[in-house]
Amino acid sequence: MPFSSSCSKVSMVLVVSLFVTSLMAMTASAGNFFQDFDVTFGDERAKILNGGQLLTLNLDKFSGSGFKSKNEYLLGRIDMQIKLVSGNSAGTVTAYYLSSEGPTHDEIDFEFLGNLSGDPYTLHTNVFSQGKGNREQQFHLWFDPTKAFHTYSIVWNSQRIIFLVDNIPIRVFTNLETIGVPFPKNQPMRIYSSLWNADDWATRGGLVKTDWTQAPFTASYRNFKVSTTSTSTNSLTEQSAWQTQGLDAAGRNRLRWVQQKFMVYNYCSDLKRFPQGLPVECRRSRF
């Protein structure tokens, strides 16, 4: 078989597989925002609607808004469907993350950095352990995240952390404690989300400012789901999948596809930032 024909068939299989996994991600069962979350700031700018099935965060010139989970979780899988700020979102940041508290906190981050109309969002990811982060990877998405809801997931077990978008892995952070790399697995974390103004850095390094004539800016959330060792009003009974979840051959192929086509920054490639040598985890397989 000619090489070009073989590659075309492999690409078609991958596209079909990505489409199927996206549909699977969008069928997640819904939680209830009244039961599972508290508004943390923004007053009426954060609204729980449709009997607890929908939550919206708003940002205006005076304040953003945010929420956090009532429960803490220690390891698990977290899924949330989010529709991001549409139009000219430059200067805004929609953050969705897990975090513990204190100076040696752990944290697992999704942050969506807004941009001018027609330009792609930047999806910023990071992992903190014992108060230390500096493990940023950034991506553009292969779809418009403002047109419809998409599922953003964190699989967090004792072996690895997997970041997923519509059930497609975009990043894996592996537990390498055996070679001295701290890994977040001992501090329970809450789920947080916020919509706020960060026009001093968020878009093109702060060169593009928030256009307040477009306010209020709105991000929407639905279909929260958690599977964890903790008890929750929306915990799932079947926990075995996430506890040992890694990437099979198809998952590794999807991860490579995302990282080759859509990654725009990787701390593990930033030699100027680490002139004394890249962090030790950058030299090891992350699958």
Give the span between the Cα atoms of 101 and 262, in whole angstroms.
Answer: 32
Whether 6 and 29 have beta carbons less than 8 Å apart is answered as no
Structure token pair of residue 101: 């508290």
CATH number of the domain residue 163 falls in: 2.60.120.200
Domain annotation covers residue 17: no
Structure token pair of residue 61: 């010139």
- The pLDDT tens digits for 182-234 are 999 999 999 999 999 999 988 888 888 999 999 999 999 999 999 987 544 44
Give the span between the Cα atoms of 32 and 234, in whole angstroms.
Answer: 8
Whether 154 and 278 have beta carbons less than 8 Å apart is answered as no
The domain tally of the chain equals 1
Domain span holding position 117: 33-283
Percent of the chain having pLDDT more than 70?
Answer: 85
Output the 3-class SS for the chain: CCHHHHHHHHHHHHHHHHHHHHHHHCCCCCCCHHHHEEEEECHHHEEEEHHHCEEEEEECCCCCEEEEECCCECCEEEEEEEECCCCCCCCEEEEEEEECCCCCCCEEEEEEECCCCCCCCEEEEEEEECCECCCCEEECCCCCCCCCCEEEEEEECCCEEEEEECCEEEEEEECCHHHCCCCCCCCCEEEEEEEEECCCCCCHHHCCCCCHHHCCEEEEEEEEEEEECCCCCCECCCCHHHHCCCCCHHHHHHHHHHHHHCEEEEHHHCCCCCCCCCCHHHHCCCC
Domain annotation covers residue 22: no
Give the span between the Cα atoms of 121 and 191, in whole angstroms.
Answer: 22
Phi/psi for 251 (5° steps) reads -65, -40
Q: Is residue 47 over pLDDT 90?
A: yes
Domain annotation covers residue 19: no
Strands 168-174 and 160-165: antiparallel
Q: Is residue 169 over pLDDT 90?
A: yes
Give the span between the Cα atoms of 72 and 15, in whole angstroms.
Answer: 37
Whether 17 and 249 have beta carbons less than 8 Å apart is answered as no
State residue 5's pLDDT score.
47
- The pLDDT tens digits for 54-80 are 999 999 999 999 999 999 999 999 999
Domain annotation covers residue 56: yes
Give the span between the Cα atoms of 161 and 281, in whole angstroms.
Answer: 14
Q: Is residue 21 over pLDDT 80?
A: no
Q: Is residue 238 over pLDDT 60?
A: no
Q: Supply the residues annotated as catalytic.
A: 107, 111
Domain annotation covers residue 27: no
Domain annotation covers residue 43: yes
Domain annotation covers residue 235: yes
Give the span between the Cα atoms of 119 and 109, in whole angstroms.
Answer: 22
Mean model confidence pLDDT for the chain? 87
Question: What pLDDT band is residue 253 in, cutting at 50, 70 and 90?
Answer: very high
- pTM, whole model, 2 decimals? 0.86
Domain annotation covers residue 25: no
